[in-house]
Amino acid sequence: MVFNTGSALLDAIVLAVVSKEPEGTYGYKITQDVRLAIEVSESTLYPVLRRLQKEDCLEVYDLEFGGRNRRYYKITDKGMVQLRLYSDEWESYFRKINIIFEGVK
């Protein structure tokens, strides 16, 4: 991708991905889902997950899977509020950029 991915956009994408799973989802799956939109490494993503947890946008719990614990992330009410704010802001941004790009081919 030729555009830089700022932290707010990455936060928005992560919150959107996690919000799709009502019971939460685990880190590796989050990474794979985020990569459908942008290229991101696990070493970039896990600090984002920890920060969103620290900001009370995500809650974390562990479940046993295949004899090991798997860490799950679930969006909180505060995270949903933040996601709606990001979504509204993205809609506005998208419309403005599309107006500029219209007719450019």
Q: Please list, in sequence order, all residues whose beta carbon lies within 8 angstroms of the beta carbon of residue 86, skipping any fewer than 6 positions away.
A: 8, 11, 12, 15, 16
**Both tokens of residue 69?**
């614990």
- For 27, the domain range is 7-101
CATH number of 43's domain = 1.10.10.10
**If residue 98 lies in a helix (H) or strand (E), which one and from where to where?**
helix 77-101
State pLDDT tens for residues 15-57.
Answer: 999 999 999 999 999 999 999 999 888 888 999 999 999 999 9
Residue 2 lies in a domain: no
pLDDT at residue 105 above 70? no
Long-range contacts made by residues 90-95, C-beta under 8 angstroms, separation at least 24? 90/12
pTM: 0.89
CA–CA dist 38, 88 (Å, integer): 20
- Domain total of the chain: 1
Which tokens sit at 64? Answer: 């046993």
1 occurs within a structural domain: no
Half-sphere exposure for 11 (CA within 13 Å, toward CB): 22
pLDDT in tens, 52-82: 999 999 999 999 888 899 999 999 999 999 9
Averaged pLDDT, 4-18: 92
